[in-house]
Structure 1
Amino acid sequence: MAQLSADQFTLADGLLTVEQALARVVKGLQPVPEVETVALLDADGRQLAADIAAPIDLPPFFNSAVDGYAVRHADLAAAGPSLLPVGARVPAGDPGLAVSAGQAVRIFTGAPMPPGLDTVFMQEDVRLAGAAVALPAGLSAGANCRPAGEDVAAGALALHAGELVTPERIALAAALGLTALPVRRRIRVAVFSTGNEIVSPGGARGPAQIYDANRFLLQALLRRLGAEVSDLGILGDDRTAIARALRQAASGHDLILTSGGVSAGEEDHVKSAVREVGSLDVWRLAIKPGRPVAMGVIPSAVPGQAAAFVGLPGNPVAVFVTFAHLVRPLLAALAGGRPAAPPALRVCAAFSHRKKQDRREYLRAALRLTPDGAVEAVKHPQDGSGILTSLTQTDGLVELPEALEEVAPGDSVGFLSYALLR
């Protein structure tokens, strides 16, 4: 389990920017200590737990980068074209052959360079003349060759601890001959929703109740990030029941994640329940949507161990935005990663909008191509943080910085694709 102090998330009063919240989430946070070695494909989406040095050169031998003719550059004429006899043929997978001085070799992409040869002419640049090949002048020594270790030298760091294992990194590990990688164990997350007004899909819904979407949104996001998720269902507005569920969930989980019940309403019991069994601080984020977020620590029954607690707002869009900016980096930090805010791509606004200063705002928007090939963002017509279709009918979030107060059509704005946030 995670090892957290009671004041891990304690903050002074005041609004937090996204950057301040990210820095505070990861400050002093120790990753889960357990490491396991898994097969390459099973490592996808996990955080690498140790540096990996290349056991061999990549490529492992000097080889041709193209189909063509390999020569000793010293055998070429000092000025003008050269005519050299073709002495051998080397396909990929065959060992390199010894070649007499003054000869060219027919060679193919990936084939080892014969000893002493150092330059390759592309086949489309040469002309065959019987058993010889006519080579144009001007090619530099070493052209169209791949030296051993050009990609990664043996002993050099190929993969770094804290990196997310991706298909590209799996390919690099495979090219180095590795069959397994050391990764942090999966983060264990308990999820539940709170409130008498929600029921699970498929259940009997009363006239004043709605189906629970947040719990499913959170579980899907967590699974995409490689977490092991426990669905704790829905807890009614009962402080005692919530406190009991939190205390039980703290054993066996690294993170407890809830939605709803963290504002200042009389029926918002989550905050008081967390304070009863652990420590809690309410973060006020300078963002819209998603201002109130509860951050805390709930001790486990095992001495010295605890679960982090994050209480997200109740509206689904606010849940998505705060998850992306707080929970996602928290999960990465617990798994030994190095979380960072994703870069916003610059696109043109196809809308007008006014906002408050000193608050970052996230607008749901779809992308489209203009007739001249530019990319522009079209704001969803409904801004409410309870509008789920505003997420399904858009491609990402337009990020409006704190100092900005107004957007006009044609303005350059930052755009965060949903693919970067989940």
Structure 2
Amino acid sequence: MSACGCDAHGQSLRPVDQAIAELLTRVPTALPRERVALSEAAGRVLAEDVRAPWPMPAWDNSAMDGYALRAADVPAQGAWLPLAGRIAAGDSALYALPAGHAVRIFTGAPLPPGADSVVAQEQAEEEGVTVRVPATELGSHVRRCGEEFAVDSCVLKVGQRLRPQELGLLASLGVAEVLVYRRLRVCLLSSGNELREPGEALQAGQIYNANRYSIAAILRGLGCDVDDSVLLIDELDVSCAALRLAAAQCDVLISTGGVSVGEEDHLKQAVSELGELQLWRLAIQPGKPLAFGHICGTPWIGLPGNPAAALITALVVARPFLLRAQGCREVMPQPLRIAAGFTWSKANSRRQYLRARLQLSAGQLCAVPHAKQGSAMLTAACWADGLAIVECQRTLVEGELIDFLLFDSLLH
């Protein structure tokens, strides 16, 4: 195994891309399907192809407010044409355009039979019942029938996650309900006796449960139904009972903390007793302790306990699995290629995900990392626009191109 797959003590670490690929092979079978109103479909995943019941546009129509005419009726020097009527959006173009005439027309209105072009109103001069128009190119400012797609075209494919633009397209086809996969039910479990909820008083050694709120928000942003009420205390029997119950009620289990090597980290042992630990320890920084397995047949992802590490591994490693489990076809984010606004002089055995901000430097967009990259620190993530990736065993000089993952592309 390459150096990218070992830590400083020579212990095996799974490369990040390999771990993600392995997780995707272990996605459970497709969720049940349900039909929902279009108004409730944002973020849901299509469970069937959608085909066009008619062409789009359904008829030739004007792309401009202006005047519809035959291009051949206007000589090179322009002409005054008599007006033969007025057609607004929503009107029917019942009568053919007489030769040598124009008709006042508005955006979206159907072209009358015989018209083949539109002159924009700012290029024309109307006077009484005539209009002066310049010579125009055949087909100018006309949206042709079927220009966008033909009847029976597949306009959206199964596995498409519905964004506002897809909802608008479906509405334009008259679709009132869509067949989608049921939302993925995820149980988010927090592990650790030291955890308390915001609003509670802290005793010595206790901390607030930041991961519950950051990871639950990620899961809901990805379209999951989340039960985040379960707290695992550091006792093996109690952890086993809570995990067994959660596995029976949810599609996927996600935990934070309890997957490191400490004597009080009982979660891995509980997983081994109730199922199988299939992956542990990645060549990623932060987030090396991430784990994956099954508990009573239900997939389980064990995120690290440190808040920044939990956040990054949820976005980088868990996200593709969760999207594919909901039926999504495209699950991997597309990184930007951005100049490094920093120098990285020491190669690392793990891939680095640096919290970084995009800035302009000498007219070039570059990624500048926060000064504090600790795995427990969320301040850098709040400051950053995304994650600058430094590959394992890589050094950088300022200006070299690197991959950059925008938070905006990871959180939805």
TM-score by length of 1: 0.89
The answer to whether residue 375 in structure 2 is matched with residue 377 in structure 1 is no
Counterpart position of 2:8: none
Match of 1:414 among 403, 406, 409: 403
Correspondent of 2:327 among 331, 336, 341:
336
**Pairwise mapping of residues 160-171 of structure 1 onto structure 2 (< 5 A)?**
160-171=157-168
Q: Say yes or no: does 1:60 pair with 2:58.
A: yes
Partner in structure 2 of residue 26 of structure 1: 24
Of the candidates 356, 360, 374, which is equivalent to residue 347 of structure 2?
356
Greater mean deviation of Cα atoms: 354-363 or 327-336: 354-363
The offset of 1:168, in angstroms, is 0.8
Structure 2 SS opposite 1:415: strand
Q: Distance in 1 between matches of 2:256 and 2:272?
A: 16
Structure 1 residue 72: Cα displacement: 1.9
Which one of the candidate residues 376, 379, 387 is aligned to 1:386?
A: 376
Give RMSD over aligned pairs.
2.1
User: Of 104, 107, 113, which residue of structure 1 is paired with 2:105?
Assistant: 107
* 1:366 paired residue number: 357
In 2, Cα distance between the equivalents of 1:95 and 1:112? 7
1:84-103: per-residue Cα shift (whole Å, max 9, x none)?
Answer: 32222112221113221221
The residue identity in structure 2 corresponding to 1:26 is: L
- How far 1:353 moved relative to its partner? 2.9
Q: State how far apart, in whole Å, the 2-side matches of 1:93 and 1:128 are.
A: 23
CA displacement at 1:129 relative to structure 2 = 5.8
Q: 1:398 aligns with which of 370, 378, 388?
A: 388
Deviations 1:3-31 (A, max 9, x none): xxxxxxxxxx9543333222222225344
Q: Deviations over 1:388-418 (max 9, x none)?
A: 212222221111223521342x443332221
- Please list every run of 5 or more consecutive structure 1 residues that lacks an aligned counterpart in the other structure: 1-12, 300-305
2:197 matched residue in structure 1? 200
Query: How far is the alpha carbon of 1:185 from its aligned partner?
Result: 0.6
Structure 2 contact 74–134 (Cα < 8 Å) conserved: no
Deviations 1:245-301 (A, max 9, x none): 1111111201111111112222221111001011112333222111222111122xx
Q: CA deviation at 1:204?
A: 4.1
User: In structure 2, how many angstroms separate the alpha carbons of the residues matched to 1:417 and 1:215?
Assistant: 22
Decide which of 271, 274, 290 is 1:293's aligned counterpart. 290
Q: CA deviation at 1:114?
A: 0.2
**In the alignment, structure 1 residue 307 sits paired with structure 2 residue 298:** yes
Moved more, 314-323 or 189-198: 189-198
The residue that corresponds to 1:321 in the other structure is 312
Name the counterpart of 2:5.
none
Per-residue deviation, residues 332-387 of structure 1 (Å, max 9, x unmatched): 111111243212223343333334355321111123344x5543333211111101
AA in 1 matched with 2:410: L
Work out the CA distance in 1 between the residues paired with 2:23 and 2:99.
Answer: 65
* Aligned equivalents of 1:403, 1:121: Cα separation in 2: 62
| Residue equivalent to 1:347 | 338
Distance in structure 1 (CA, Å) of the matches to 2:225 and 2:342: 40
- Judging changes above 3 Å, is the alpha-carbon distance between structure 1 residues 354 and 209 closer, same or farther for their aligned structure 2 residues? farther
CA contact (8 A) 2:42 2:167 kept: yes
Give 1:55 shift.
1.7
Alpha carbons of structure 1 residues 357 and 382: separation in structure 2 relative to 1, 3 Å: closer
Query: What CA distance in whole angstroms lies between the structure 2 residues aligned with 1:64 and 1:165?
Result: 29
Deviates more, 1:30-39 or 1:269-278: 30-39
Against the structure 1 CA distance between its residues 193 and 407, is the aligned structure 2 distance closer, same or farther, given a 3 Å change threshold?
farther
Instruction: Give the Cα–Cα distance (whole angstroms) in 2 for the partners of residues 14 and 52 of structure 1.
Output: 46
**Aligned residues, how many?**
400
Residue of structure 2 equivalent to 1:88:
85
Range moving further from structure 2, 247-256 or 323-332: 323-332
* Contact 2:190-2:257 within 8 A present in 1 as well: yes
Name structure 2 gaps, 5 residues minimum: 1-10
- TM-score, L = length of structure 2: 0.91
